[in-house]
Amino acid sequence: MAGAFGELADTPADHALNVTQGSLRRTLLERVATRESVTLHAGSEVKRVDSALVGACRCVVSPVDGGGQEMALESRWIVAADGKQSSTRALTGIETHLERADYGLALVPVPTPRNYPRTIRAHRRPDGMATTVPGASPGLTYVFTHMADRTASPEQVVQWATRVVAASDEILGPALAAEARPERTFRIEPQIVNAAAWRNDGVLLLGDSAHGMHNIGGQGLNTALQDALSLGDALLRHAEDGKTERIDGFIDRRRPFIDRLQDAQRTLGEAFWPEAGAESWFRPRFAELSLGQQEMRRDWRDIAAA
């Protein structure tokens, strides 16, 4: 996807950089670890929540590998950013509706070529879309394949993905032709998560925990980062004055936008291939999908610059 970012409202950027989730996670953890006010327990799982009161939250966590003892942690808030299958959400009794799509995505793995750029690329065509994700697993690049032909066999998926990628990627295209195998493809099922509430007293849901998106065209990572900027700023304000207006105000402003985005995703399969003369679901939403809802972009820019 391309566009003149410099001409869009309230953004200082003239381009967008797509990075893999693993690279972003590593960068964020490194930045968080440098803050003196933060104690990082990476790789821990919330086992129970003993108190969810604002200002007096208490939970118990343990290492996911089972190699350590449980720890009791106290905080003013609990912010759950633990994904579509959020255990924190379940432990605090927030009702959630999980909606499965009526189609799946075929993933084609291929060994990542030497010195291949770690940049995600989306190849959209009238008959489907192939998204290449380097480093999705160690040493592997995945081609997330979403075809108009939902009955395509693994052999047809590999042939189609190879042909589409080779048209504009002179490195990965030949690698697919040489290395991709139908028997190595597998499918995943897109899901939408819709939590009844994003806040339950002192527990806040963020990103996929609150509003999990479809894997293709989903914007899950984008919306989670945008949530984090606004919630982080609101939590700092709460620490100063003890008021929750900024937190609740963010949810009130944010939720209608997210609800509309999720509603659109329910027809995402058809929207990739509009009828003759109709406009693609993606085209008029370039700014919205890349930069988030317009009325909050200036806020995010100011928060990030502070």
Phi, psi for 100 (deg, rounded to 5): -95, 140
Between these two residues, 126 and 63, which has the higher pLDDT value?
63
Weakest mean pLDDT among 44-48, 140-144, 177-181, 271-275: 271-275
> Residue 243's pLDDT is what?
92
Q: Could you please report the per-residue DSSP string of 83-125?
A: -TT-HHHHHTT--EEEEE-SS-EEEEEEEPPTT-----EEEEE
Greater model confidence, 222 or 67: 222
CA pair distance 83, 209, nearest whole angstrom? 5
105-133: average pLDDT: 88
Higher pLDDT: 216 or 140? It is 140
Residue 68 has pLDDT above 80, yes or no: no
Residue 125: which H helix or E strand, with range? strand 121-125
In the predicted structure, residue 273 carries a pLDDT above the cut 70 = no
**Tokens 């808030």 — which residue?**
77
Residue in 133, 167, 127 with CA at minimum distance from that of residue 147: 127
pLDDT of residue 185 exceeding 60: yes
Mean per-residue pLDDT over the chain, rounded:
86
Average confidence (pLDDT) over 218-222: 80
CA distance linking residue 213 with residue 84, whole number of Å: 9
* Percent of all residues in the chain with a pLDDT value above 70, rounded to a whole number: 86
Q: Residue 67: what pLDDT?
A: 75
- The confidence score (pLDDT) of residue 269 equals 55
Q: How confident is the model at residue 283, as a pLDDT?
A: 65
pLDDT confidence of residue 28: 85
Residue 267 to residue 102: CA distance in whole angstroms: 10
Domains in the chain: boundaries:
5-100+191-305, 105-188
Which residue's entry shows tokens 């008021």?
A: 243
Q: At residue 250, does pLDDT exceed 90?
A: yes
- Mean pLDDT across 195-209: 96
Indicate whether 75 pLDDT > 50.
yes
In the predicted structure, residue 221 carries a pLDDT above the cut 90: no
Fold of the 105-188 domain: Alpha-Beta Plaits (3.30.70)
Using the predicted structure, report yes or no on whether residue 231 has a pLDDT greater than 90.
yes
Q: Is the model's pLDDT at 5 over the cut of 60?
A: no
Q: Say which amino acid occupies 34.
A: T
Average pLDDT of the segment spanning 57-78: 89
Q: 5-100+191-305 maps to which CATH number? A: 3.50.50.60
Q: How confident is the model at residue 1 (pLDDT cuts 50, 70, 90)?
A: very low
Average the pLDDT over 86-104 and give the result. Answer: 88
151: confidence class by pLDDT, cuts 50, 70, 90:
confident
- The percentage of the chain sitting over the pLDDT mark of 90, rounded to a whole number, equals 52
Residue 126: per-residue pLDDT: 77
Residue 106 has pLDDT above 80, yes or no: yes
